[in-house]
A = this chain, B = another copy of it.
Amino acid sequence: MYHQGIAQIRQELGDASVSTDEDDIEEHGYSEWSTSNSSVRPKAVVRPTSTQDVARIVKICSRYRIPMVPYGAGSSVEGNFSSTHPGVCIDLSLMDKIVEFHPDDLDVTVQAGVNWTQLNESNELKASGLFLPLDPSPTAQIGGMIATNCSGTNAMRYGTMKDYVLSLTIVLADGSIIKTRRRPRKTSAGYNLNGLFTGSEGTLGIITEATLKLAVVPSDYSVATATFLTVKDAADAASKMIRKGINLAACELMDDEQMKVINKSGGVGGKMWEELPTLFLKFSGSQQNIEDSVRLAKSVSSSSKCQTFLSAKKKEDMDSLWSARKQALWACLAARPEGTEIWSTDVAVPISRMAQMIEESKNDAMQMGLFSSVLGHVGDGNFHQMIMYDPKRPSDVANVKGFINGMMHKALEMEGTVSVRRRTIVVPEICSALIRKQGEHGIGIGKKVSRRPLMECQRHMMK
């Protein structure tokens, strides 16, 4: 069955489009970035170069009942591209053309395999003063960014991927091709298919082309950091800034442990950092606007017992101040003792509950003897607690599992949404989280549950 189908794809698309090379297959089946990998590998990797190619592949797979998994950059962290059954991996990275660019309409049409950093660095976009304001993994491709509804630190100012999709070309499971909309920005008619396919993680169809809104590159930007005695003070300051409507482009929190990790890894940005809970703030707009906002942010910080407020005026100072935030994950990886792994949690709660949630989670981890550091997208009420543990020590593993379960219960009590890893012990009343109540990392295979617990969750949610 596989053989026949794959042979037919080879026949229709040409030998070069189909790979059964072992290394190629391994690369498309496993990622050391991902928290969830399956043991299954695809039987072949196919590389279409057009929507029509994808449609032909899908028609063949459909006829021979061969499972299909679309693949972009493979940078997701939840096994979103892992195969659950042996089948065909459809790698869209050769579909990397900018199809149409309309600077006066602030939109661009691209194939799914276009990389967002290359798009923003392209001569056309550079010259136009426009950009796509998302910032997921630098390697990410547009198709995967839409399929996972990606975000990043810019989300506070610019929103997430769903806010930039004007139209999609999609190949459905039977190989038919649909286009969701035309180019105009405004429309209020018909079902919002863009919104439905964005974040659907390849389960409804394969995105092959997208027309995206672009934003105007701000004329200036600036960066500031503010340190506080406690996480609560830092979160309070962030909350006040948001409530006052201060024009923030990003608002990120790192706790004292995370700052220690930064220093432990040798410091970044050419300096050692105060080991206190720290807010990283970005501002953008006109120079006057930025100065206003920085002044307001400083005054709000003072009212929450800010220890040191640093704001950058020169480009290199900005990069230096932001570097600690940018390199947080690398610092964690570099600083962990030999043999340990990092378990990254992904919880979101209403903004007002964030300080309490972080403080209690830190205490819980400490009481269990687990080392953890915190990185928060405060503007969204979403944070990651990085827990270092030794997967070979049963007591470590048990502690982590116990901790994660406790954290999820706490988040749900605070009307929050949680995200867990597959091997976590799942208790029925919290699995709803697996399907519809999560942070920012998507589902992938890591958080998929069977139908039964899902129904139990539904009942739990309605309480």
Task: Give the CA-CA distance A215 to B104 in the complex, in Å.
Answer: 29
Task: Give the CA-CA distance A179 to B437 in the complex, in Å.
Answer: 11
- A26-34, A113-121, A415-423: which lies at the interface: A415-423
Q: Does A301 contact B (CB under 8 A)?
A: no
- A5-13, A16-24, A147-155: which lies at the interface: A147-155
- Candidates B189, B200, B350, B382; contact of A107 at CB < 8 Å: B350
Q: In chain A, residues 210-247, which have Cβ atoms closer than 8 Å to a Cβ of chain B?
A: 215-219, 239, 242-245, 247
- Candidates B198, B216, B242, B351; contact of A192 at CB < 8 Å: B198
Does the CB pair B350–A184 fall under 8 Å? yes
Task: Give the CA-CA distance A182 to B53 in the complex, in Å.
Answer: 40
- CB closest chain-B residue, reference A291: B288
Does the CB pair B285–A188 fall under 8 Å? no
Task: Give the CA-CA distance A443 to B285 in the complex, in Å.
Answer: 38
Tell me, rounded to whole Å, the shortest Cβ–Cβ distance linking A169 to chain B.
9
Does the CB pair B192–A435 fall under 8 Å? no
**Known contacts A188-B439, A242-B106; A183/B149 CB under 8 A:** no
Residues of B within 8 A of A219 (CB): 245
- CB closest chain-B residue, reference A103: B243
- Candidates B177, B179, B184; contact of A417 at CB < 8 Å: B184
Residues of B within 8 A of A189 (CB): 199, 417, 419, 434-439, 441-443, 447
- Candidates B348, B352, B436; contact of A186 at CB < 8 Å: B348
- Candidates B105, B177, B181, B417; contact of A436 at CB < 8 Å: B181
Residues of B within 8 A of A438 (CB): 187-190
Does the CB pair A186–B151 fall under 8 Å? yes
- With a 10 A CB-CB cut-off, give which of A188, A217, A285 has the most chain B CB atoms: A188
Q: Does A162 contact B (CB under 8 A)?
A: yes
Q: Does A36 contact B (CB under 8 A)?
A: no
Does the CB pair A186–B155 fall under 8 Å? yes
Residues of B within 8 A of A245 (CB): 215-219
- Candidates B192, B244, B419, B434; contact of A195 at CB < 8 Å: B192
Q: In chain A, residues 146-172, which have Cβ atoms closer than 8 Å to a Cβ of chain B?
A: 148-151, 155, 159-160, 162-163
Q: Does A340 contact B (CB under 8 A)?
A: no
Q: How many A residues are at the interface, by size bracket?
A: 35 or more
Q: Does A313 contact B (CB under 8 A)?
A: no
Does the CB pair A184–B349 fall under 8 Å? yes
Q: Does A440 contact B (CB under 8 A)?
A: yes
- Candidates B159, B199, B416; contact of A188 at CB < 8 Å: B199
Q: In chain A, residues 277-297, which have Cβ atoms closer than 8 Å to a Cβ of chain B?
A: 285-286, 288-289, 292
Task: Give the CA-CA distance A179 to B435 in the complex, in Å.
Answer: 13
Does the CB pair B105–A351 fall under 8 Å? yes
Q: Does A1 contact B (CB under 8 A)?
A: no
Task: Give the CA-CA distance A437 to B199 in the complex, in Å.
Answer: 22
Residues of B within 8 A of A180 (CB): 436
Task: Give the CA-CA distance A285 to B247 in the complex, in Å.
Answer: 9
Residues of B within 8 A of A150 (CB): 188
**Known contacts A105-B350, A149-B192, A438-B188; A462/B289 CB under 8 A:** no
Residues of B within 8 A of A415 (CB): 182-184
25 interchain pairs (CB within 8 A)?
A: A102-B350, A102-B352, A104-B351, A149-B192, A150-B188, A160-B186, A163-B163, A177-B462, A182-B416, A183-B415, A184-B415, A185-B351, A186-B377, A187-B348, A187-B438, A188-B440, A188-B442, A189-B417, A189-B438, A189-B442, A190-B199, A190-B438, A195-B198, A196-B196, A217-B245
Residues of A within 8 A of B (CB): 102-107, 129, 148-151, 155, 159-160, 162-163, 177-196, 198-200, 215-219, 239, 242-245, 247, 285-286, 288-289, 292, 348-352, 377, 380-382, 415-417, 419, 434-443, 447, 458, 461-462
| 9 shortest interchain CB distances as A-B pairs | A195-B195, A216-B245, A189-B438, A104-B352, A190-B436, A186-B380, A184-B348, A105-B350, A186-B382
